[in-house]
Chain A
Amino acid sequence: MEALFSSLLGNVDWYEIWLATLDTLLMLGGSLLFTIILGLPLGVLLFLSGPRQLFENGPLYAALSFVVNVLRSLPFIILLIVMIPFTVLITGTSLGVAGAIPPLVVGAAPFFARLVETALREVDRGIIEATQAMGATTRQIIFSALLPEARPGIIAAITVTAITLVSYTAMAGVVGAGGLGDLAIRFGYQRFQTDVMVVTVVLLLVLVQVLQSVGDRLVTHFSRK
């Protein structure tokens, strides 16, 4: 049994796999964190400045929308390369986990911001009106009513964004970011080591499944139905 296992997966260096998995998780965690830090306020701003909203502001909304659309329309693989000088500027390197996080964040934050905007639009206007009628400040409306009410939607948005980031991290291998995707490309594809390819794909699949089911569970929990 063990012989069969090792002959089938002869090229797999489990230590390498472990390191790559760790890199993928680090890239995912780091980029998700910064995506939320940047994307959440951006999404709130998009929502508030949008048509018929609390701070309706046509020019601001148009400008934010334009930036978001431009960033979202760039294929991630192009963004990775275009971003290199900027990445070096803020992290000192364009390689490894640190080098991958800036392009990942720039790629995912606009996407996440749009999802947040949509989640906030789902909040019943009556709830905002009721909160206004209680004499809430705008800050209180955002933090005591809008964000708690949109929480299930925002968690779903984080889940979708995290899964998108998993696939982005795989691409980031192209610019020397490391991680499972990098392993799959360098060994599985370029050296025809199909077994390495299979193992990395299975690991990525497990990661996505775990993210999705944790996200779904949190959404159900916070829906309070």
Chain B
Amino acid sequence: MIEFHQVHKTYRTGGRDVPALQPTQLEIASGEVFGLIGHSGAGKSTLLRLINRLEEPSGGRILVNGEDVTALDADGLRRFRQRVGMIFQHFNLLMSKTVADNVAMPLRLAGIRSRSEIDARVAALLDRVGLKDHARKYPAQLSGGQKQRVGIARALATEPSILLCDEATSALDPQTTASVLQLLAEINRELKLTIVLITHEMDVIRRVCDRVAVMDAGAIVEQGPVTEVFLHPKHPTTQRFVLEDEAMDESEMHDDFAHVPGRILRLTFQGDSTYKPLLGTVARETGVDYSILSGRIDRIKDTPYGQLTLALIGGDMAAAMTRLQAADVHVEVLR
């Protein structure tokens, strides 16, 4: 468990205090994948780096599994960092070392001398990330996705309980992003590792995170389970992120629907209800007709969901509404 108690951070540049993180209260449960989303400068990178104190907090306390990280001395901090893995947007691998030596580095730094022990660990790690044939290559000979896999193997070398991901997929193409995210989800599941990741893409949150916090101007403006925040965004910043992900322009959408007759609804299905034949049943029973204006059926991590914008025409409108609301579906009337 990672706890932030009134943690804040102020930078001093050019004689002026610039707040990077407002006093923040946050709890990240053990074993969950927690996402922090925000635009650049929103403070998410600062928040992430406060966890392993690559950034020193200006105030407040950070507890990791009950241990006050903010109170650690230099030696304690180094031992703590050896239990926290971290991966980076630009991978930050040592170009002068082979893949195997990069992965072995945290082990050597932690004082493990036994060659056979290091070799065995490195081989197992490279096997896990699917790079066992690349051990003797140098990072410059690998693709971006492969480099990030080396980064992941390196971060896992000391068997940490926490993995921090700093925009880990932002430099990768969509396909590679998907495979790296899949690997992270796998690691989270199998090693019961707590993952904290920061990103500016809602899609990354949707694919791997259990819970999410949305950051804006150095503060968390909304947080909760991803299904909740993604399907029912409340803060304007969150709404913008969700729309960006769906590549939809809301004003354009409303213009398009202006000449559509009838009542316009947005239905949100979640979990098992997603695949039930609800619309057909309701239409048959109440005599309303419907047309689907836009929609998306997808998954949020392991939860299937659907979100449809419909126009309802004719029939027993009131009965249809009651029937829909009675089902396990969230109904919003847009017009």
A binds B: yes
Chain A residues engaging chain B, CB cutoff 8 angstroms:
124, 126-127, 129-137, 140, 144-145, 148-149, 151, 222-225
Would you call B79 and A126 a contact (CB within 8 A)? no
Complex Cα spacing A144 to B110, Å: 12
Q: Which residue of B lies closest to A225 (CB)?
A: B140
B250–chain A nearest beta-carbon distance, Å: 37
Shortest beta-carbon contacts, A-B, top 9 = A135-B81, A130-B92, A135-B82, A126-B92, A224-B138, A135-B78, A133-B86, A148-B96, A134-B106
Q: Specify which of A130, A136, A148, A222 is in contact with B88 (CB 8 Å cutoff).
A: A130
Classify the interface of chain A: helix, strand, loop or mixed.
helix
Chain A residues contacting B320 (CB-CB under 8 Å) are none
Would you call A149 and B94 a contact (CB within 8 A)? yes
Q: Specify which of B84, B90, B96 is in contact with A133 (CB 8 Å cutoff).
A: B84
Would you call A224 and B96 a contact (CB within 8 A)? yes
Would you call A224 and B140 a contact (CB within 8 A)? yes
B205-223 interface bits toward A, Cβ cutoff 8 Å, 1 = contact, 0 = none: 0000000000000000000
Would you call A135 and B86 a contact (CB within 8 A)? no
Would you call B81 and A132 a contact (CB within 8 A)? yes
Q: Which of B68-88 contact A (CB under 8 A)?
A: 77-82, 84, 86, 88
Q: Can you list 5 residue pairs at the A/B interface with Cβ under 8 Å?
A: A130-B86, A136-B109, A148-B97, A149-B96, A223-B95
Complex Cα spacing A127 to B86, Å: 12
Would you call A144 and B54 a contact (CB within 8 A)? no
Chain B residues contacting A134 (CB-CB under 8 Å) are 81-82, 105-106, 109, 154, 158
Chain A residues contacting B84 (CB-CB under 8 Å) are 133
Q: Specify which of A135, A144, A149, A222 is in contact with B80 (CB 8 Å cutoff).
A: A135
New A-B pairs, 8, CB < 8 Å, besides A127-B92, A130-B88, A149-B96: A129-B54, A130-B92, A133-B81, A134-B106, A135-B79, A135-B82, A144-B108, A151-B96
A133–chain B nearest beta-carbon distance, Å: 4
B165–chain A nearest beta-carbon distance, Å: 12
B171-195 interface bits toward A, Cβ cutoff 8 Å, 1 = contact, 0 = none: 0000000000000000000000000
Residue with the highest number of chain A CB atoms closer than 10 Å, among B96, B105, B140: B96
Q: Which residue of B lies closest to A127 (CB)?
A: B92
Chain A residues contacting B93 (CB-CB under 8 Å) are 127, 130
Complex Cα spacing A132 to B140, Å: 22
Chain A residues contacting B108 (CB-CB under 8 Å) are 144
Complex Cα spacing A222 to B98, Å: 12
Interface size on B, residues (CB 8 A): 29
Q: Indicate if B52 sits at the interface (CB-CB under 8 A).
A: yes
B139–chain A nearest beta-carbon distance, Å: 8
Chain B residues contacting A149 (CB-CB under 8 Å) are 94-96
Chain A residues contacting B94 (CB-CB under 8 Å) are 127, 145, 148-149
Complex Cα spacing A137 to B74, Å: 9
Q: Specify which of B81, B88, B109, B164 is in contact with A126 (CB 8 Å cutoff).
A: B88
Would you call B54 and A133 a contact (CB within 8 A)? yes
A74–chain B nearest beta-carbon distance, Å: 35
B306–chain A nearest beta-carbon distance, Å: 40
Known: A135-B80, A135-B81, A135-B82. Contact between A129 and B92, CB under 8 A?
yes
Chain B residues contacting A133 (CB-CB under 8 Å) are 52, 54, 81, 84, 86, 164
B102–chain A nearest beta-carbon distance, Å: 10
Q: Which residue of A lies closest to B78 (CB)?
A: A135
Q: Which residue of B lies closest to A126 (CB)?
A: B92
Chain A residues contacting B95 (CB-CB under 8 Å) are 149, 223-224
Would you call B54 and A132 a contact (CB within 8 A)? yes
Would you call A136 and B78 a contact (CB within 8 A)? yes
Q: Which of B245-268 contact A (CB under 8 A)?
A: none
Complex Cα spacing A127 to B90, Å: 9
Would you call B109 and A140 a contact (CB within 8 A)? yes
Chain A residues contacting B80 (CB-CB under 8 Å) are 135
Chain A residues contacting B81 (CB-CB under 8 Å) are 132-135
Would you call A135 and B110 a contact (CB within 8 A)? yes
Known: A133-B86, A135-B81, A137-B78. Contact between A144 and B105, CB under 8 A?
yes
Complex Cα spacing A127 to B93, Å: 7
Complex Cα spacing A151 to B108, Å: 20
Chain B residues contacting A131 (CB-CB under 8 Å) are 105, 109
Q: Which residue of A lies closest to B108 (CB)?
A: A144
